[in-house]
Structure 1
Amino acid sequence: MFKKHKIEVIPYKDFMSRPATSIQRKTPLHSNIYSFFPSITITSFFPIGDPAFAFFLVSGGLIAVVALSETALASSGLSSVSSVLSSLFRFVLPVVGYGLIFWFLFQI
């Protein structure tokens, strides 16, 4: 703190000289780098033109419609029809639902 440090002085001519020609520059990478995983985009999650995805949407919609119709039938007083739908789809819906989940996971 009490001792003054020396200041290095570089002449202008030495400072502006061109020693940079001896420095090797890194060239940018021009080749494509591929990975094991595909790119994740909206179109990869929702392939509209794929028939299997259309089946996935129809099956998922069917599950929702059956569940809502069963609830609506039970609340409107048609409990016998609702119990028949419930007993039928108690087996069908889990099989279709788990099948769709496994299909979706294997499509990712």
Structure 2
Amino acid sequence: MFNKNKKEVILFKDFMSRPAASIQKEIPLQTNIYSFSPVITLGDFFPLHEPAFALFFISASLIAAIAFCEKILAVNGFTDISGYIARITSVLLPIVSYGALFWFIFFGMRG
């Protein structure tokens, strides 16, 4: 604030040019490394490109969102709406869950 800093001006051409000759290149690994365990990535745990897992993930997220909304409504004093949601979900969620499980077991595991 009290010091006046001089601004350094660098030409665009100098800024964009790399000192390619001075960068040492690493020698790649020459031996092959084999393993008995496969590579484990986040995509292996959540294969959203597969329809069966996507259906399971969407239905589980929907059930969690409905339960969260019901809890928030009950805490904020909307017990009537929370009671209606509880009555509806007590009938619909088992039907949807067993239907999704049936579909997942018999139709989702093809291949």
Normalization by structure 2: what TM-score? 0.48
Tell me the TM-score normalised to structure 1 length. Answer: 0.50
The structure with the larger Rg is 1
